[in-house]
Amino acid sequence: MLQEKYKELIDTAQSSGVAQLQVQEIENVLHIEGEAPSGAVKDQLWDIYNKIDPNYLTGDLVLNVNVATAVEGSKVKVVTDSSNLNIRKGPGTDQPIVGKAAHDEIITLVNKSNDQWWLVRTNDGEEGYSYAQYLQPVE
């Protein structure tokens, strides 16, 4: 049963204050939705997911948790050569693209998840992970 497989993830979501948490199994895929109180909590959920299912290969979980929009973030500038920057659902190039930020666009840094991936939010409210080397803090 998927809820047992991802028990640590569900327990962590509950104990870390994910609001409007919904957990449901639909056609052998577990859907976890809600609103995380901080970027660090969202990162923690992705870390647990990657530990249970390395590189997210099974495809039996949809983790759809965004950070509460009230959480303040600093601003970062997209410093790609000229192309748009992909914003992905999770921290990895194998994760689906959920949005794009234009070259030179200023977006919100929610959390510096690790050295490679930062959690960002566009001005349109799209949230996801982008490659940190293409983001530069704005003074």
Distance (Å, whole) CA 65 – CA 81: 31
DSSP3 helix / strand / coil % (the chain, rounded to 5) = 25, 40, 35
For residue 35, which of 23, 24, 22, 20 has the smallest C-alpha distance?
20
Q: Say which range, 63-72, 74-83, 119-128, has the weakest mean pLDDT.
A: 63-72
Torsion angle, alpha carbons of 76, 16, 116, 129, to 10:
-60
Are both 2-67 and 74-137 of the same fold?
no
Question: What is the model's pTM?
Answer: 0.82
Q: Tell me what pLDDT residue 139 has.
A: 75
Fold designation for 2-67: Alpha-Beta Plaits (3.30.70)
- Over its C-alpha atoms, the chain yields an Rg (Å, rounded) of 15
Residues 118, 130: contact at Cβ < 8 Å? yes
Q: 3-class secondary structure for 60-122?
A: CEEEEEEECCCCCCEEEEECCCCCCEEEECCCCCCCCEEEEECCCCEEEEEECCCCCEEEEEC
Over residues 125-139, the mean pLDDT reads: 93
Confidence of residue 102 (pLDDT cuts 50, 70, 90): very high
Distance (Å, whole) CA 29 – CA 46: 16
Check whether domain 74-137 has CATH 2.30.30.40, yes or no: yes
Q: Say which range, 55-59, 96-100, 116-120, has the weakest mean pLDDT.
A: 55-59
Confidence of residue 2 (pLDDT cuts 50, 70, 90): very high
Over residues 13-33, the mean pLDDT reads: 96
Domain boundaries, the chain: 2-67, 74-137
Q: Tell me what pLDDT residue 71 has.
A: 66
Q: Is the pLDDT of residue 117 over 80?
A: yes
Residues 111, 117: contact at Cβ < 8 Å? no
- pLDDT, tens only, 69-101: 766 789 999 999 999 999 999 999 989 999 999
